[in-house]
């Protein structure tokens, strides 16, 4: 099953090999402040400027490449009991239609409800996000229940010490769009701001791994 490619801009973000990214949250105090994302060589891959509590539009998030070019625009749809967000290709203009959406699968016990991702105009290209984002432990599954990306805590390879939650790993499987995966993280972070503990579909306690990338 070929995974959807969303960010067809100046550079594609789909790779034939597994991609391991380090995600750095640029504020330790507020959900949704900003991010920088680096590859295994320390090169900047994505950036998100501050959209924290002092921003003009808290329901509007933009994922950019290292040069500041807009890859994805994410907007919260209001009103929405399921906390629905919509994603747009590049910089959103009036009249543009979303290419995908995210929502909680249930309003009952919603802090533990899985998040459903629907890709428009592509039947069968749906995804489910399960795990605990506040603990940086999530899996993204496609419609065939195959993991296409994983969010996990990052461990310092030299000391074996687990780093703080402001630094975590995004593992993107071959053939899956890394820009799309990062866009999903931005929405999870915003949802986490609404429900401080977004325990999506998983009630197990966080487990500290012995090894990490």
Cα 212 from chain centroid (whole Å):
20
Three-class SS of residue 134?
A: helix
Instruction: Please give the DSSP secondary-structure letter assigned to residue 112.
Output: G
How far is 20 from 39, CA to CA, in rounded Å? 6
- Name the average pLDDT for the chain: 79
Q: What is the pTM of this model?
A: 0.81
What's the pLDDT tens digit per position in 179-207?
999 999 999 988 876 544 344 444 343 33
Per-residue confidence (pLDDT) for residue 134, from 0 to 100: 87
Beta bridge partners, 119, equal 100
Residues of 23-59 as b/e, b for ≥16 C-beta within 10 angstroms? bebeeeeebbbbbbbeeeeeeebbbbeebbeeeeeee
Least confident range of 3-7, 18-22, 42-46, 79-83: 3-7
Residues 117, 127 contacting (CB under 8 angstroms): yes
Q: Which two tokens stand for residue 28?
A: 């330790």
The two tokens of residue 104 are 């909680």
Strand pairing report for 85-89 and 147-153: unpaired
Does residue 213 contact residue 160 with C-beta atoms inside 8 Å?
no
Specify the residue for token string 């699968």.
105
The dihedral built from the CA positions of residue 106, 194, 169 and 159, taken in this order, carries a sign that is: negative
Domain 19-200 belongs in CATH node 2.40.160.200: yes
* Segment 121-171, tens digit of pLDDT: 887 789 999 998 989 999 999 999 999 999 999 988 888 889 988 999 999
Rounded distance, CA 114 to CA 116, Å? 6
Could you give the CA distance from residue 171 to residue 148 in angstroms, rounded to a whole number? 9
Delimit the domains of the chain by residue range.
Answer: 19-200
């Amino acid at each position: 099953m070929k995974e959807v490619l969303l960010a067809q801009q100046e550079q594609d973000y789909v790779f034939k090999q597994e991609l391991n990214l380090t995600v750095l949250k640029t504020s330790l105090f507020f959900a949704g402040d900003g991010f920088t994302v680096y590859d295994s060589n320390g090169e900047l891959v994505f950036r998100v400027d501050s959209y924290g509590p002092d921003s003009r539009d808290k329901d509007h998030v933009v994922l950019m490449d290292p040069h500041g070019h807009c890859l994805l625009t994410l907007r919260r749809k209001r009103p929405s009991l399921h906390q629905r967000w919509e994603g747009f290709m590049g910089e959103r203009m009036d009249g543009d239609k979303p290419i995908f959406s995210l929502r909680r699968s249930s309003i009952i016990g919603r802090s533990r409800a899985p998040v459903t991702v629907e890709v428009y105009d592509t039947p069968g290209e749906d995804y489910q996000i399960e795990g605990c984002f506040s603990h940086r432990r999530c899996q993204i599954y496609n419609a065939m229940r195959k993991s296409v990306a994983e969010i996990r805590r990052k461990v310092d390879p030299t000391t074996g010490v687990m780093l703080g939650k402001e630094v975590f790993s995004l593992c993107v499987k071959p053939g899956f769009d890394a820009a799309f995966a990062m866009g999903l993280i931005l929405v999870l972070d915003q949802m986490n701001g609404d429900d401080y503990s977004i325990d999506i579909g998983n009630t197990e306690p966080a487990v500290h791994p012995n090894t990490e990338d």
